[in-house]
Structure 1
Amino acid sequence: MKVKVINIIQPEQIRSLQFQLIELLGACINEGASLGFYAPADAKRLTSYWQGVEASVAQKKRSLYAIFHDDMLIASVQLVPCQKQNGQHRAEVEKLVVHPQVQRQGLARKLMAALEADALQQGIKLLFLDTQTGDKSELFYQALGYSKSGEIPKFVTDSNGTFSSTSYYYKLL
């Protein structure tokens, strides 16, 4: 599959891509990904979320990376640099999503490579993230060289109220 990786999406692009961003995130949520929202995905909540991302990108407090196939958004990830003076060397990786129809084709790996390269250019030396304990994403992050620093029990719930632990990972660049 021939894809185009866009290192950084600009705020005005987010607005024009809003429907595709909502569809992408919603598809992943509806397939069971723990991304801070319950399934079935609620378009109103996702719209509000992406409007917040747009504002954060406009304020240079977040970067959004994306992969397109024939002008169709199929994957994205976000980099959120720490805003504290003593933490400007670190950033959080958020919402790595690949459309369920194109998963397991190396797209997440390409996105993470673009994100990590950009992070280094920004002087970021430490990346961290969280994911649901036991999720398939744990193996993916470990394969990319991220180390598990621990987990917090009963950190999140699903739509049925069932608690899950969250695992924290980091990578020194």
Structure 2
Amino acid sequence: MTDDVRVRRLDAGEAAASVPALADVLIDCVQGGASVSFMLPLPRDKAEAFWRGVADGVARAERALLVAEDGHGAILGTVQLILTQPDNQPHRADLAKMLVHRKARRRGIAQRLMAAVDEVARSEGKTVLVLDTVTGGDAERLYERAGWQRVGAVPKYALMPDGAFCGTTFFYKHLG
């Protein structure tokens, strides 16, 4: 199913050049109900400002940005690793903004992004990864299948894009 999809890490220049396409994916996911820090309606300028900040973080080596592209180079999905952590946690990274455009779902793209994130984390010397996700959402199953361990959930931790409360479940993964 994903033979025509390539997952790769973007460098700073590629991240900056990809801001409009990444904004498209973010806007689509928020419109589809994903609780990923943004509320409806998500204006394009706000989505692009977010991705410019991510690109700046890539340039400073604070973040790793991965994308899944189709055979024509269109971005279908993305995930980030936040590499910069406090001094007492140099071995840890946070997984953030796992996003797959609704038109590209159910093709194994998220699983491919998760496998690639493990490789990048190892290459960066990270052995503990953490993430949070909406309690009861499809992503919980994805993370469990990818070997992540559930820590617990906090009710009413965040809001869905429409303003309704949602719980958040925390996960970790040790890389060997």
The two structures have a TM-score, normalised by structure 2, of: 0.92
TM-fit CA distance, 1:51: 1.2
Q: Secondary structure at the match of 2:68?
A: strand
- 1:146 matched to which residue of 2? 148
**Counterpart amino acid of residue 164 in structure 2:** T
**Counterpart amino acid of residue 28 in structure 1:** C
Q: How does 1:132-143 map to 2 (within 5 A)?
A: 132-143=134-145
Residue 74 of structure 2, aligned match among 72, 80, 92: 72
**Counterpart amino acid of residue 114 in structure 2:** M
Which structure is higher in RCO with an 8 Å CA cutoff and minimum separation 6? 2
Q: Are the counterparts in 1 of residues 39 and 162 from structure 2 also a CA contact under 8 Å?
A: no
- 2:170 matched to which residue of 1? 168
Q: Are the counterparts in 2 of residues 82 and 89 from structure 1 also a CA contact under 8 Å?
A: no
- 2:16 matched to which residue of 1? 15
Q: How does 1:19-168 map to 2 (within 5 A)?
A: 19-69=20-70, 70-168=72-170
The Cα offsets for residues 47-82 of structure 1, whole Å up to 9 and x where unpaired, read as 111111011111100000011111111111000124
Q: Are the counterparts in 1 of residues 153 and 167 from structure 2 also a CA contact under 8 Å?
A: yes
TM-fit CA distance, 1:148: 0.9
Q: Are the counterparts in 2 of residues 79 and 93 from structure 1 also a CA contact under 8 Å?
A: yes
TM-fit CA distance, 1:160: 4.5
Determine the C-alpha separation between the residues in 1 that align with 2:106 and 2:93.
26
Q: When the two structures are aligned, how many residues end up with a matched partner? A: 172
Over aligned residues, Cα RMSD in angstroms? 1.3
**Counterpart amino acid of residue 50 in structure 1:** W
Change (3 A) 1:159 1:99: closer
The two structures have a TM-score, normalised by structure 1, of: 0.94
* Unaligned residue ranges in structure 1 (runs of 5+): none
Q: Secondary structure at the match of 1:85?
A: coil
